[in-house]
Structure 1
């Protein structure tokens, strides 16, 4: 290691030699940095799963513009909008077609007694252009009363049920006092609000959600004419529809707004965001304590160098060397353990927790920055030290 660092820095790796001299302290420091990395990785992983599950329902839709009630928060946490707004929108230049979207949470119990909740979309099966291709090809099957497409990644759904459905079989279950039959599958996955998703026709949806009114859907989906910008049509709609009751958003705007709401308004997003901050703070404190102690232990040696004419940049180089070593040595085990915990979370909860390359790079750069900042703070004592006062 010393030879490698000598080649890398072009000088004797004083920082590494100081760290490795006290192996107990080095091990404790690396463990502390690894723990801080693990804490940040887990918070970012769960936040990523939150964002992923927030946007997953959009993958089922194929809309250019979404009309929603102004009081609504997200796609799946919305108030009802008057269906008459759909006909008003159809009279706006650039709007090619429109449909209603109904959303509800349907709970049911499996044969083994496990309770499962499904985020259910009720769609107009005569307008398959408003859903993803994977669903559109199965839309004709939903013309049969009380049938649905079931999310094969639903938490708690037995593997044999998924196999039966994927092979063309059916599964019937009781929900809200009636029998619903799953005749096909789709792939979305569970989230924080439900264990999985389900798509039915709008008529089946209204039968299972008896309190709902066909004249008050959750959202109205719009498709624009070919060659017409969704932003342009959205601007026209905002001039026509009452802004106090109707929110007009392009699909990309709606997704961005949902992410912002989940990250800054929902308690889960705020808690995980605070967890990331705490992880960074823990790493800063641990590295600062290690480097500050190291500076204090070698203050006489540093003073000797200072008396020989070495400047502050030399000492910063040594401390930054130590900071980089700690950052690298702490990042690797933190990353490895995090990947293992991500896999365990996916297995237990079904949440889409994955280690993205961009996340790993971001955390590594953040670790280097935090360690470097801690090192810079730890050298302040050297800047004011007078060699004559130390001997």
Structure 2
């Protein structure tokens, strides 16, 4: 049996320069869509790094808070009232504020987030430093986020080499007593973790009776959502009670709906789709026009439009696959470069790769369908 080479493939490779231009154009559209979707997903993922690291089941915040970068304080006594509910295992306060970190190497300052926790309670996940709670009990001792931006200085390297790392935060001298991992986000390029007492030393203007986040651990077997609803109904209007998952969704919702960032990235992906569609349409339209005489001859011989539609659709699918592969590879490499440069969680996922591949196929198919109108309008009598 002789293998028949598809007519669509033969037509594409007949003009190799045109084929390469088409592949480059589709690859560019793929890169644009993957990068825009990647930035958008990294935004949402980085925004909830703090939330996911919390060792809690229920969270108390002020109803005036809109996001992690805009937290408002509420009375600490509300947290103690929450501790009196049946099913509560422990409670812990959290203080948040932005401080100015002085790079110990070049002396430049940069803003980072300072997190104050009760060192008697394991309220946040820390993996790099053993006995970290004892370390931050010492006056003016902090843990530095090893995944902070490089502009803060080579703090992880210096600490791991055994050097004493001292610098200033908001004008107060501090000592790095260990490392932890949380990572930068779009609101903070770096993070510090310390005790609640050290936090108040760094920010003496803060009222110790007002906290930013209240953490509640529940006993095993307790319905967390039901307990959160009871707390919300019983506590005052100056506190909002939600589960840990709802707290993360609260943050994602802010960045997605209350800012223009999510819209901008989605619009960028749409522009990539449109650019790719125009490029593929021009290529297919030109190819159809070049072979219009041959198509007219086949029409005169009795071939129906469905045959030509199949040929153009085959060309579209071939182009989408050939353009997607280099676009995927380039995007994968760019993800690695961006993740290393920004400390943002930018990485390829199966879901995103599948979505962009589907959009690429749809982009090429729609362009092929539009280009087909040239054949449908062609009359053999007019051409000859």
For normalisation by structure 1, the TM-score amounts to: 0.89
SS at match of 1:149: strand
For 1:312 and 1:116, the matched residues in 2 are separated by 65
SS at match of 1:143: coil
Give 1:118 deviation, angstroms.
2.1
For 2:280 and 2:226, the matched residues in 1 are separated by 52
* Aligned mate of 1:226, from 220, 228, 238: 220
Give 1:62 deviation, angstroms.
0.8
Give 1:303 deviation, angstroms.
2.9
Contact 2:52 2:248 in 1 (8 A): no
For 1:158 and 1:246, the matched residues in 2 are separated by 38
For 1:179 and 1:71, the matched residues in 2 are separated by 32
SS at match of 1:194: coil
SS at match of 2:313: helix
Q: Does 2:314 match 1:321?
A: yes
For 2:53 and 2:131, the matched residues in 1 are separated by 12
Matches within 5 A, 1:200-215: 200-215=194-209
Give 1:386 deviation, angstroms.
4.1
Residues 48 and 57 of structure 1, relative CA distance in 2, 3 Å threshold: same
Contact 1:15 1:322 in 2 (8 A): yes
Unaligned runs of 5+ in 2: none
For 1:196 and 1:22, the matched residues in 2 are separated by 52
Give 1:385 deviation, angstroms.
4.2
Residues 383 and 257 of structure 1, relative CA distance in 2, 3 Å threshold: farther
Contact 1:170 1:184 in 2 (8 A): no
For 1:293 and 1:264, the matched residues in 2 are separated by 42
Give 1:298 deviation, angstroms.
2.3
Give 1:112's aligned residue.
Answer: 106
Q: Does 2:303 match 1:310?
A: yes
Give 1:64 deviation, angstroms.
0.7
Give 1:179 deviation, angstroms.
0.9
Give 2:192's aligned residue.
Answer: 198
SS at match of 2:72: coil
Give 1:100's aligned residue.
Answer: 93
For 2:220 and 2:131, the matched residues in 1 are separated by 22
For 1:75 and 1:382, the matched residues in 2 are separated by 57
Q: Which runs of 4+ in 1 moved over 6 A?
A: none
Q: Does 2:142 match 1:148?
A: yes
Give 2:24's aligned residue.
Answer: 31
Give 1:3's aligned residue.
Answer: none
Give 1:210 deviation, angstroms.
2.1
Q: Deviation digits for residues 69-91 of structure 1, max 9, x if unmatched? A: 22212234322222222123223
Contact 1:166 1:185 in 2 (8 A): no
Give 1:125 deviation, angstroms.
0.8
Number of residue-to-residue matches in the alignment: 380
Give 1:295 deviation, angstroms.
2.3
Give 2:262's aligned residue.
Answer: 269
Q: Does 2:368 match 1:375?
A: yes
Unaligned runs of 5+ in 1: 1-5
Give 2:342's aligned residue.
Answer: 349
Matches within 5 A, 1:29-178: 29-110=22-103, 111-128=105-122, 130-132=123-125, 134=127, 137-155=131-149, 156-159=151-154, 161-166=155-160, 169-178=163-172
Q: Does 2:231 match 1:237?
A: yes
Moved more, 233-242 or 147-156: 233-242
Moved more, 379-388 or 197-206: 379-388
SS at match of 2:221: coil
Give 1:124 deviation, angstroms.
0.7
Moved more, 302-311 or 13-22: 302-311
CA RMSD of aligned residues (A): 2.2
For 2:54 and 2:302, the matched residues in 1 are separated by 69
Give 1:183's aligned residue.
Answer: 177
